[in-house]
Structure formats: structure tokens, C-alpha cells
Amino acid sequence: MLNPRAKYDNIVQYMEKMMKEALAQAELALAMGEVPVGAIIEKDGEIIGRGHNRTETMKDPTAHAEILAIKEAAAKLGGWRLLGCTLYVTTEPCSMCAGAIVLARLAKVVIGTKDPKAGACGSILNIIENPRLNHRPEVVFGIMEEDCRRIMQDFFTLLRKKKSEDTIL
């Protein structure tokens, strides 16, 4: 099989292309009024899973971008082991999602921005690289970090503004 990354000058350009796909998923979440987190799963240059937060829409606390992308990728591959797959996610996964990443045996996780309040890939916990677990994917932080951080900051700034306006009325 041809190397799908060969048309890129370097791996960072390739990771930025994939993170743009995850950001497009975050934009979908934003348009729905959801916390704007997006995720995609790639294997051999093909996107096999996509997800964006839908916890409010689905009334499901597990409907996080990463979980939805993992489910779609597993269905596409016909099994729960996502060996050789890379997850691109705009914001650092929470403990639930970090656990799912380990259980799904993802090879690599590329994270746009850290989550200092709930991040479980190094910010407040580090489930994903815990040496006591049987699988530890490679982790890369900071791909398109500013774009990923900005969409989250803008969402929460707008949410706080809306809440303060609602209390005034």
C-alpha cells in the first residue's frame, strides 16, 4: 500500500490536516450548542470514525466526541481493537474517554489543547500513560493548539455572557 502521508512535507503537516477534520467536528458540536469538542480516527490515511460532543442532544453523559468516534471506527473495522489507528481530538480527553482509548488499543492520540479542569492525559490525571495499564498509546500534544483552544474559550465566554444576561432579565 502506498504511504498516504507521502504527499506531505512532514508529519506535522499531515497531523494538521487530520486535526482540521477534528475541528470541523467541533464546529458541528458548536452549531448544536454542545461543548465544541471534535474527534476523528484515522487508519492508513483513511478517516474511519468521526464524532463530536452530543451529550445534551442525546441526553447521554457518554456521548463524548472520542467515544462516538471510537464506536464508529470499531463498527467500520468490525472489532473493538483499533490497532494501528490514530485518534485526533481537539481537547484533551476526560477520564472516561482516556479509559476508552486505552481499552480500544489505539496506537496514537493527537491532542490539540490541554484541559486543565478535566484532562486525563496529563493535565489532572494521566490515565493514558499509566504504566500499570496493559496498553499505552503514543501521545502528541499541541497540533493546531491555538485553534483548538480558541473554539473552547469562545464557547465558554459566550455561555457565561448568556447566563449573566439571563440573570439580569
Residues marked as catalytic: 66
Comparing CA positions, the residue from 118, 117, 83 lying closest to residue 101 is: 83
What grid cell was written down for 81? 481493537
Opening angle at CA 101, ends 96 and 102, nearest 5: 100
Classify 58 as helix, strand or coil: helix
Decide: residue 132, CB within 10 A, 0-12 exposed, 13-18 middle, 19+ buried.
exposed
Q: What is the DSSP letter of 138?
A: E
